[in-house]
């Protein structure tokens, strides 16, 4: 999905420490249990991670935090300012992440609220598939998280190369 009609695509660049005041402001509006400043500082300090900022009209509109663990990229946080949602910001951030990793065989994982149908559809458009749940993952209401993976197999419609790990419970992949 591209930006909405007559809305320019956001500029994507590396997220920096100087962006953190705007990041925290978006984080607090976007999530019932926002990350702390220390969590963002920790992720920005990891040399193997990819942290991206989306800007439009000179202001931060969204961000993405992704850490690499061994051979797997874990998308830790994707957020878009509420007034900028559905305008292509998250799509641009995910597209840029895949381009920066630059490996068609790369494996990615993330957790998403099971009730967040819009985010799940977005991730599915990028080849992510549901592969399990983390029970009572979200502290604010005890909601389960859907574990999603993007691997060479998920891009071909199967979960054959998705590892079983942690307290995951199998789910039927979404079509």
Which residue in the block uniquely carries the two structure tokens 């942690």? 166
In the annotation, is 111 catalytic? yes
How many residues are present in the chain?
A: 175
Query: How far is residue 136 CA from its own chain's centroid?
Result: 19
- Given 69, 99, 123, 143, which residue is catalytic? 123
Distance CA 84, CA 81 (A): 5
Phi, psi of 155 (to 5 degrees): -65, -20
Distance CA 21, CA 39 (A): 13
Distances (CA, A) of 163 to 20, 143, 158: 34, 23, 12
**The token pair that represents 136 in the structure block:** 């009572």
In the annotation, is 84 catalytic? no
Q: How many beta carbons lie within 10 A of that of residue 154, not counting itself?
A: 24
Distance CA 159, CA 76 (A): 21
- Given 27, 43, 96, 111, which residue is catalytic? 111
Name the residues annotated as catalytic.
111, 123
């Amino acid at each position: 999905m591209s930006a909405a009609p007559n809305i320019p695509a956001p500029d994507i660049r590396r997220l920096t420490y100087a962006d953190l005041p705007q990041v925290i402001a978006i984080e607090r509006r976007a999530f019932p249990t926002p990350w702390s400043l220390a969590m963002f500082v920790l992720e920005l300090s990891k040399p193997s991670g990819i942290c991206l900022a989306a800007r439009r009209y000179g202001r931060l509109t969204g961000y993405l935090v992704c850490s690499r663990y061994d051979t797997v990229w874990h998308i830790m946080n994707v957020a878009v300012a509420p007034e900028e949602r559905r305008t292509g910001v998250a799509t641009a951030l995910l597209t840029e992440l895949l381009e920066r990793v630059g490996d068609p065989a790369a494996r990615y994982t993330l957790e998403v609220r099971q009730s967040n149908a819009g985010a799940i559809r977005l991730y599915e458009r990028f080849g992510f598939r549901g592969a399990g749940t983390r029970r009572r993952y979200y502290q604010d209401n005890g909601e389960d998280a859907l574990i999603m993976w993007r691997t060479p197999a998920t891009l071909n419609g199967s979960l054959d190369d998705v590892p079983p790990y942690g307290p995951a419970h199998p789910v039927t992949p979404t079509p």
